[in-house]
């Protein structure tokens, strides 16, 4: 259990540094990325590109190991069908993302910066997830 | 183009990829932030809850420490009222839960596994975000 917690702590810290270095914690940058007909800032594409470049290669080697170091199996999504939930959910997420300029990673990473916006967004994000649990999963 | 930062963005992205690789190599889990959060209250196992919380703590501390040494100046935004922030947060939370992922889980981890679901989801939230910003900025003019 301790191994899993420490490796998650390490991975989370690197994620937090990565989101900060790439300035994805700045919602203005996200809005400018999505504003393709305005002052477009393509930085986010470079963030996604840099990340995918790494995992594209690393995942191959990792999956070839057969199992992770601290667990008996890789836990990968079991769903393969493109269904209404995926499409509606992703559309709603995109609307929220465009409204506030925050997706889950950056807004949680911003919680320690000491201003109000991330607190409000994370609070309502959690409420949205619980609402989903109550309405859809129940 | 406004404040385009290709090098630090690429470098930051590489760190996200390294983080996702560590989590998969050691724990066998997808580094999708929305899934990591929702798993805290959807998963009964104590170990599952604990590693997810540890990741979140790392995420906040990592950003905090970086910001301590290299302060990030975030320009205050006008017109973003509390009700709007709440609606946005609700949509992000509900949407990522219903759509099983966000920018990290679908956009990074899923895309690099060539998951058709993730590639579709990424396209959909990108388009939906672009349309939303277009409507808000250029039609309503906020």
**Domain range enclosing A17:** 2-137
pLDDT of residue B44: 83
ipTM associated with this complex: 0.96
Which residues numbered 70-89 in B keep a CB inside 8 Å of some CB on A? 70, 72, 74-75, 77, 80, 82, 84-89
Give tens-digit pLDDT for A37-66: 998 999 999 999 999 999 999 999 999 999
Using a CB-CB cut-off of 8 Å, the residues of chain A touching B133 are 31, 34-35, 38, 98
CA distances from A18 to A15, A109, B32, B109 (A): 5, 10, 14, 15
Question: In the Cβ-directed half-sphere of B39, how many Cα atoms lie within 13 Å?
Answer: 24
pLDDT of residue A48: 98
Would B82 be classed as within a structural domain?
yes
At A26 the three-state DSSP class reads coil
- The gap between the terminal CA atoms of chain B, to the nearest Å, is 20
Look up the domain containing B107 and give its range: 78-142
List per-residue pLDDT tens for chain A, 138 residues long.
Answer: 899 999 999 999 999 999 999 999 999 999 999 999 998 999 999 999 999 999 999 999 999 999 999 999 999 998 889 999 999 999 999 999 999 999 999 999 999 998 999 999 999 999 999 999 999 865
Whether B4 is covered by a domain: the verdict is no
Q: Is the CA virtual torsion B78, B83, B84, B86 positive or negative?
A: positive
Query: Is B53 domain-assigned?
Result: no
Q: Which residues of A touch B115 (CB under 8 A)?
A: 77
How far, in Å, CA of B40 to CA of B17, rounded?
23
Residue B141: what pLDDT? 82
Residue of A47, A81, A82 with shortest CB distance to B16: A47
Q: Is B20 among the domain residues?
A: no
Q: What's the structural domain count of chain A?
A: 1
Chain A interface includes B92 (CB < 8 A): yes
The domain tally of chain B equals 1
Q: What pLDDT does B1 receive?
A: 59
Distance, CA of A81 to CA of A113 (rounded, Å): 39
Give me the total of CB pairs closer than 8 Å, taking one residue from chain A and one from chain B.
488
């Amino acid at each position: 259990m301790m191994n899993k917690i420490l490796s998650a702590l390490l991975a989370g810290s690197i994620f937090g540094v990565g989101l900060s270095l790439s300035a994805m914690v700045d919602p203005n940058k996200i809005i400018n990325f999505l504003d393709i007909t305005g002052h477009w800032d393509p930085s986010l594409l470079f963030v996604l590109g840099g990340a995918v470049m790494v995992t594209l290669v690393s995942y191959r080697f990792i999956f070839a190991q057969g199992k992770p170091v601290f667990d008996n199996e890789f836990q990968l999504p079991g769903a393969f069908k493109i269904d209404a939930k995926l499409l509606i959910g992703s559309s709603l997420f995109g609307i929220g993302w465009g409204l506030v300029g925050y997706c889950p990673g950056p807004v949680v990473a911003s919680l320690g910066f000491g201003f109000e916006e991330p607190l409000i967004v994370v609070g309502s994000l959690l409420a949205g997830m619980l609402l989903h649990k109550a309405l859809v999963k129940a | 183009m406004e404040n385009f930062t290709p090098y630090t963005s690429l470098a930051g992205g590489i760190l996200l990829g390294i983080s996702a690789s560590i989590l998969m190599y050691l724990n066998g889990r997808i580094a999708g932030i929305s899934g990591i959060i929702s798993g805290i209250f959807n998963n009964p196992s104590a170990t599952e809850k604990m590693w997810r919380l540890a990741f979140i703590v790392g995420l906040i501390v990592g950003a905090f420490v970086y910001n301590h040494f290299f302060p990030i100046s975030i320009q205050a935004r006008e017109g973003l009222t509390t009700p709007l922030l709440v609606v946005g947060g609700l949509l992000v939370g509900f949407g990522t839960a219903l759509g099983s992922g966000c920018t990290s889980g679908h956009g990074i981890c899923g895309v690099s596994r060539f998951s058709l679901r993730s590639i579709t989801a990424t396209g959909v939230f990108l388009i939906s975000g672009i349309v939303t910003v277009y409507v808000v900025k250029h039609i309503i003019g906020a």
